[in-house]
């Protein structure tokens, strides 16, 4: 039976931990279960973690795999935790692959600072994405730093460490 929400983790900064032996940030499993436990999220969540990779090293086959997991998800609401450097590229692969009548709402999010380090934005971004996926129409979106963007109308401004584009929350009165 389908849960309410599927969260697909791919790695990225969100899931990195400091390895004192190697002296670098590495992957040692998803941080998602800890975050969900701490956040007291009451949604029924199915967690799927096919990858643990820095998005800079993600290839097209892996992007296709993420897209197919979203398309085949029995849950209509999907959050993808992804590295921020190439999140938009993977989201756009999904945009090209999904059928016109696909009723999934997919929200990509990530973190600029790993969850395991002080001052991480991981919990905030995940919470925003979990809320956004419940409110948005079917489609593919990016949710970072409290803003929601259509996936094909956003880019990462590496100089400022922010996503910029047409924010869905920008409303003129």
Q: Where are the domains of the chain?
A: 5-163
- From the list 109, 30, 101, the residue with the least C-alpha distance to 71 is 101
Q: What are phi and psi of 96, to 5 degrees?
A: -75, -30
Number of helices (H) and strands (E), helices first, in the chain?
Answer: 4, 9
- Buried b / exposed e over 39-78, threshold 16 CB at 10 Å, is eeeeeebeebbebbbbbeebeeebbebbbebbeebebbbb
Q: CA 95, CA 2: separation in Å to the nearest integer?
A: 23
Count CB neighbours of 80 within 10 A.
28
Q: Which fold has domain 5-163?
A: Rossmann fold (3.40.50)
- Kindly indicate the confidence band of residue 173, based on its pLDDT and cuts at 50, 70 and 90: very low
Q: What is the pLDDT of residues 34-76, one digit of tens each?
A: 888 788 888 888 888 767 777 777 899 999 999 999 999 999 9
Helix (H), strand (E) at residue 141: strand 139-144
Query: Looking at residues 66-89, what average pLDDT do you find?
Result: 95
Q: CA 171, CA 169: separation in Å to the nearest integer?
A: 6
Query: Looking at residues 9-35, what average pLDDT do you find?
Result: 72
- Residue 86 pLDDT exceeds 50: yes
Among 5-14, 110-119, 139-148, which is the least confidently predicted range? 110-119
pLDDT of residue 18: 65
The pLDDT mean for the chain works out to 86
DSSP state string for 44-60: -EEEE----B-GGG--H
């Amino acid at each position: 039976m389908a849960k309410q929400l599927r969260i697909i983790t791919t790695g990225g900064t969100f899931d990195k931990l400091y390895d004192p032996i190697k002296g670098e940030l590495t992957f040692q499993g998803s941080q998602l279960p800890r975050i969900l436990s701490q956040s007291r999220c009451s949604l029924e969540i199915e967690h799927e973690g096919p990858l643990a990779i820095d998005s800079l090293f993600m290839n097209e086959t892996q992007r296709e795999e993420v897209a197919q997991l979203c398309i085949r998800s029995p849950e209509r609401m999907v959050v993808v935790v992804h590295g921020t450097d190439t999140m938009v590229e993977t989201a756009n692969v999904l945009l090209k692959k999904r059928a016109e009548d696909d009723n999934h709402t997919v929200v990509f999010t990530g973190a600029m600072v790993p969850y395991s380090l002080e001052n991480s934005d991981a919990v905030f971004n995940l919470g925003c994405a979990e809320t956004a996926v419940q409110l948005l129409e079917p489609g593919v979106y990016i949710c970072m730093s409290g803003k929601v963007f259509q996936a094909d109308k956003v880019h990462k401004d590496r100089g400022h460490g922010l996503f910029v584009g047409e924010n869905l929350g920008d409303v003129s009165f």
